[in-house]
Amino acid sequence: MEIMELFDESTMNIDLQGETKDQIIEEMVTLLDEGGVLADKEAYKKAIYAREEQSSTGLGFDIAIPHAKTAAVKTARVAFGKSDKGFDFGAEDGTKAHLIFMIAATDTDSNLHLQALATLSRNLIKADFRKKLLEAKTAGEVIEVLKTL
């Protein structure tokens, strides 16, 4: 599976409203649920929080990549969200996250979530790539930026 197959405009929100980690997680999980990705919204959310308890997925550099591999996911997808004001996602460098990628992987996907995580991380360390995502005004523009992955 190519990474671009994991993105869809229906699971993108370029104007996240949450101000806390919990509010952002709720918005992103709801986005995946409404996009038909989840078999069980609450079970997926629990899996996200279980992963967050291991260590924060706030990476610094304006980025958070919460992820979970669980039977609560029907179809693998990466949801994208953007917040102009930013929010604290527990990054070690103390910076606020403005870009969030929530990876939803089925429990039958062997290493899909790890491949997506690696590809995103490799590209998100590039300041120009992050800048283009931060400047995107529509989900379509986000897709165009992501096509360079």
**108-145: per-residue pLDDT in tens?**
877 776 788 788 888 998 999 999 999 999 999 999 99
Confidence band, pLDDT 50/70/90 cuts, at residue 25: very high
Claim: this prediction has a pTM higher than 0.75: yes
Q: Which of 7, 8, 64, 67 is catalytic?
A: 67
Closest CA to 66 of 23, 31, 100: 100
Q: Is 67 a catalytic residue?
A: yes
SS3 111: coil
Confidence band, pLDDT 50/70/90 cuts, at residue 1: low
Q: Sign of dihedral through CA atoms 10, 66, 82, 120?
A: negative
Beta bridge partner(s), residue 70: 106
What percentage of the chain reaches a pLDDT higher than 90?
74
